Amino acid sequence: MMSMSLLVLVCIWHAIIPQIAADWGLDLAHTSDVIVLVVLGFVFITMHVLFILWIRKRVSALCNRSLLPYRYSYKASCVRPG
């Protein structure tokens, strides 16, 4: 859902930037375009890193709860030894 929100923000920005270029000039439009690119890129990467950490924490909690005796021998997965 957050990725879709960022895509909407990018679409809105692409609708606004031509008006900025027409009213205030290409230099300001280029500078603001680079600033928005960096900000949205940072938000996008941060959001995905936090999501990956949240998923790892959740999977780890599920593995530790259900496979407590096996967690030291099978650190990477939640598969019971067969």
Residue-wise pLDDT for 4-35, tens only, equals 999 999 999 999 999 999 999 999 999 999 99
Phi-psi map region of 25: left, alpha, beta (phi>0 left; psi -120 to 50 alpha):
left
- CA 62 centroid distance within chain: 23
Domain ranges in the chain are 2-51
Residue-wise pLDDT for 65-79, tens only, equals 665 555 555 455 555
